[in-house]
Amino acid sequence: MRSLVEKAGLGIFLAGFAVFLASFFLVDFQLTEAGIEQQLGDKGRESLLKSVAAPILEKRFGSSFSFSQELEKTIHQANAQILKDFGISETEKEKIVLSQGTPFPVEFSIEKAISALEEGEQAVFKSSQLRAYGGWMDGRSYNSKEQLLNDLNQNILNINQGIVRDKGFDEYRTKSLKYSLAKEATVGTVKDHPVLFLLFTYGLAIVGALLYFYARSQTTEGISNDRIHFSSMMHRGWIGVLTGTFLIGFYIILYFFPQHMTAWVTMVDPISFFLKGSEAGYFFLYGWLYTLCVLVMGIRMMVKWRHSNYHLVRTLSVMFFQTAFAFLIPEILVRLNQPYFDFKNIWPLDYDFFFEYELDKLIESGALGMFMLVWGIALIVIAVPVLVYFFGKRWYCSWVCGCGGLAETLGDPYRQLSDKSLKAWKVERWLIHSVLVFAVIMTIGVLYTYFTSSSQFLGISTYDIRSWYGFLIGSVFAGVVGTGFYPLMGNRVWCRFGCPLAAYLGLVQRFKSRFRITTNGGQCISCGNCSTYCEMGIDVRWYAQRGQNIVRASCVGCGICASVCPRGVLKLENSDEETRFNEPILIGNKDVTIK
């Protein structure tokens, strides 16, 4: 009977997942003038885009790929038109060079360059741009035409980039516009019946997963080690690789090509309208999926580790904080016209906390916004060191953090895949602390720009620094690698190698914390369960065999090592070194069954 329920649950889950994948292709795209007006809200850009988008208006596209391709061509045409109207042409460039006279060397005159511009409606604008971007050339001596053209071409390139940014569609605006127009242009079955698709995707998947977990709950309590290293899903088999490929692909589309997932976003519009009173965006979809995974897989976690009250409580904790603080409260705040704010997110994990638009948003939001600002700073400078001193980094990484919550629930089947080698430990220490340094430098530059209005810090553009951090760390590392590599490298790839907050917490834990895992080497039988299940890549058995306490910056205090130890060798403690054996333990193995 248990096997039948398990198979039925798996079948229902796969059916829901199949409908979810199929829905990706069950929408068409039809762009209209009204859609352009609604998404742009800028008369100049509206008129420009409409003028070049005429060939694709009202045309129905059968896939997001073909629609996105045509839309991108249209945006490029719009930028080309803007540069034709407002930019400095090749003819004008030649006239500027000739205006400086011959023979070389010549002394560049900005006034002569401006006088060489063609007269017309845009002459005043072009003159102001050339003066603003090329003023530094005024009075400079040039020994050859090639040398002059080199500087002039660079100035014209800067002018053109400014024109595109101010009047056209730069790279950031293009990405946002491609998504918003694709969402507005979405038509078809999913658009017409979002609630029905919600039921046949998420509904079936949830019911199937719960049935499967129920069947697993009918087994004997305890941790079974007889399948882990032979499972195609849990030990880099073809199912695990396929799962990892799907996760990586999902994150790539989410961060870099969100216009292709409008079917999935449209599906959760009813939920978004219910929570915040407006349609969903692609990060609302991500928050919904993230929270759903933590909740459903959290139930699996509780079934698997039901022999330990410690794991039951901490799993409930991450489920609560993700659902309430990371998903529901921020969305409800938006409905109340307040700033979107995750009260449990801490800099530098929340790396854009000090960005000028975030600071301005909080400051301009009155008393609540100022409270959010003070709250965020207090978490950084007071809560982190104090709570880590008393409880170790586990108070956040294993009980509160959303990244840790996903790792402990969705990622739990892959915890044994973490690399325990010395080489991996060395890479981990260099990499995670480098990310922390990167985050600190970026934040200093951001605050420098905020208070001085200068975009240059130590000769580097602060906007470039934050852009590269957002791309490399915020998107690629934290998302694509951090979660997509669960089935390949274990569930704590991001926490172990990349999270700057984990690095900050770990430094405090390593040098000034009462938390440690104590060991009793005389009882260790070298079974290796502790090392196998350590998600942070710590070779726990090495310490246990020698009776050494484990005080590692990377340890998140999940307590799994103590739960799977058949001899009670390991205990999680919060105490001073000299009194640690006299105080009550936080977790042991008294109710563990190992098979």
Q: pLDDT digits over 394-437, tens only?
A: 999 999 999 999 999 999 999 999 999 999 999 999 999 999 99
How does residue 256 score in pLDDT terms, banded at 50, 70 and 90? very high
Distance CA 21, CA 288 (A): 17
For residue 145, being part of any structural domain is answered with: yes
pLDDT of the residue at 576: 62
pLDDT of the residue at 410: 95
pLDDT of the residue at 457: 79
Q: Which whole number is the average pLDDT over 274-287? A: 94
Closest CA to 9 of 300, 306, 230: 300
Q: Which whole number is the average pLDDT over 181-187? A: 94
For residue 113, being part of any structural domain is answered with: yes
* Spatial contact of 97 and 148, defined as CB atoms under 8 Å apart: yes
pLDDT of the residue at 225: 62
471-501 pLDDT, tens digit each: 999 999 999 999 999 999 999 999 999 999 9
311-351 pLDDT, tens digit each: 999 999 999 999 999 999 999 999 999 999 999 999 999 99
For residue 563, being part of any structural domain is answered with: yes
Pick from 166, 183, 199: which residue ends a domain? 199
Q: Which whole number is the average pLDDT over 278-287? A: 95
Distance CA 240, CA 236 (A): 5
pLDDT of the residue at 491: 94
Residues above pLDDT 90, as percent of the chain: 63
User: Which of 23-37, 222-236, 382-396 is the least confident region?
Assistant: 222-236
517-556 pLDDT, tens digit each: 999 877 889 989 999 999 999 999 999 998 889 889 999 9
Cα distances from 189 to residues 23, 56, 186, 261, in angstroms, run 9, 21, 10, 15
User: Which of 16-25, 88-97, 264-273, 309-318 is the least confident region?
Assistant: 88-97
For residue 120, being part of any structural domain is answered with: yes
User: What's the chain's average pLDDT?
Assistant: 89
Residue 110: Cβ within 10 Å count: 18
pLDDT at 590 over 50: no
pLDDT of the residue at 181: 94
For residue 170, being part of any structural domain is answered with: yes
212-235 pLDDT, tens digit each: 999 888 777 766 665 777 888 888
Pick from 142, 171, 199: which residue ends a domain? 199
For residue 389, being part of any structural domain is answered with: no
Question: Would you give the distance in Å from CA 65 to the centre of its chain?
Answer: 24
Looking at residue 580, the DSSP 8-state letter turns out to be T
Distance CA 367, CA 358 (A): 15
pLDDT of the residue at 581: 40
pLDDT of the residue at 585: 42
CATH number where 530 lies: 3.30.70.20
For residue 393, being part of any structural domain is answered with: no
Q: Which whole number is the average pLDDT over 76-85? A: 90
Residue 257 tokens read as 């090509």
For residue 336, being part of any structural domain is answered with: no
- Those residues whose C-beta lies under 8 Å from the C-beta of residue 510, and which sit 6 or more positions away, are 551, 552, 553
pLDDT of the residue at 589: 45
The tally of domains found in the chain comes to 2
SS3 465: helix
* Spatial contact of 322 and 290, defined as CB atoms under 8 Å apart: yes
pLDDT at 566 over 70: yes
For residue 535, what are the domain limits? 514-579
Helix %, strand %, coil % of the chain (to 5):
65, 5, 25
How does residue 579 score in pLDDT terms, banded at 50, 70 and 90? very low
* Spatial contact of 408 and 301, defined as CB atoms under 8 Å apart: yes
pLDDT of the residue at 463: 86
Strand stretches in 427-530, DSSP E? 456-457, 460-461, 515-519
Pick left, alpha or beta for residue 583 (phi over 0 → left; psi -120 to 50 → alpha; otherwise beta): beta
pLDDT of the residue at 145: 87
pLDDT of the residue at 1: 66
